[in-house]
Amino acid sequence: MNNSKSYSRLNNGIEMPLLGLGVYDMHGSTAEAAVNDALEIGYRLIDTAAMYGNEKEVGQAIRKSGIKRTEIFVTTKVANTSQGFDATLKAFDASLDLLNIDYIDLYLVHWPIKGKRKETWKALEKLYKEKKVRAIGVANYLIPFLEELYTYAETQPAVNQVEFSPYLYLSELLVFCQQRKIQ
């Protein structure tokens, strides 16, 4: 899985593995074992979120793997209840502490929460400018939310993580993101 076709180059130049393990609804030793197994067989992207309640176990598996931290791409997300400028910064610190790693590769706004979107994005931009995260983005943002984001964003989102399948094919959203180089 170490060939160039296994990665996507984000709009800020960093490479993100295309294949990753999402750890939604995994807890305790189950989460740690799943991450361990995924890393053993070659996965290099681990996707978690504060609201999943398993960042500690994800971090433990990463540290126990013996794989260089620079070879593992870690994504996490700010929870809906932690959005807003100051709350997002605190939530980031809490995630970093639970993961027990030096930086996060990709930090996402988990959902577009009314009245909190701008302040939350500004907090992510601050973290990015301070090099605490390698890339920032959003999750579950449809076109109207992305259009709004562009009215105040200084940093373009690198990723919009959305459900995408034969049963939920959002072709207009895909084109919108492709035109703006949002993975």
The per-residue DSSP string of the chain comes to --SGGGEEE-TTS-EEES-EEE-TT--HHHHHHHHHHHHHTT--EEE--GGGT-HHHHHHHHHHH---GGG-EEEEEE-GGG-SHHHHHHHHHHHHHHHT-S-EEEEEE-S--TTTHHHHHHHHHHHHHTTSEEEEEEES--HHHHHHHTTT-SS--S-EE---BTTB--HHHHHHHHHTT--
C-alpha to C-alpha distance for 135 and 7, rounded to whole angstroms:
15
Q: Residue 5: which pLDDT band, with cuts at 50, 70 and 90? A: low
Residue 155, Cβ density class (10 Å: 0-12 exposed, 13-18 middle, ≥19 buried):
middle
Give the mean model confidence (pLDDT) for residues 20-48. Answer: 97
* Residues 82-127: tens digit of each pLDDT: 999 999 999 999 999 999 999 999 999 999 999 999 999 999 999 9
Give the mean model confidence (pLDDT) for residues 155-168. Answer: 94
Model confidence at 38: pLDDT above 70: yes
Q: Residue 165: which pLDDT band, with cuts at 50, 70 and 90? A: confident
Model confidence at 81: pLDDT above 80: yes
Q: How many other CB atoms sit within 10 Å of the CB of residue 122? A: 16
Model confidence at 148: pLDDT above 90: yes
pLDDT the model gives residue 135: 98
C-alpha to C-alpha distance for 20 and 37, rounded to whole angstroms:
12
Per the CB < 8 A criterion, the answer to whether 59 and 98 are in contact is yes
**Cα atoms in the 13 Å half-sphere on the side-chain side of 123:** 23
Model confidence at 67: pLDDT above 90: yes
C-alpha to C-alpha distance for 126 and 159, rounded to whole angstroms:
17
* Residue 107 annotated in active site: no
C-alpha to C-alpha distance for 129 and 120, rounded to whole angstroms:
14
C-alpha to C-alpha distance for 102 and 46, rounded to whole angstroms:
15
Model confidence at 64: pLDDT above 50: yes
Per the CB < 8 A criterion, the answer to whether 136 and 161 are in contact is no
Model confidence at 1: pLDDT above 50: no
The percentage of the chain sitting over the pLDDT mark of 90, rounded to a whole number, equals 96
Model confidence at 39: pLDDT above 80: yes
Catalytic residue among 7, 52, 107, 141: 52
pTM of the model: 0.95
Tokens encoding 175: 């084109």
pLDDT the model gives residue 164: 86
Tokens encoding 134: 């390698």
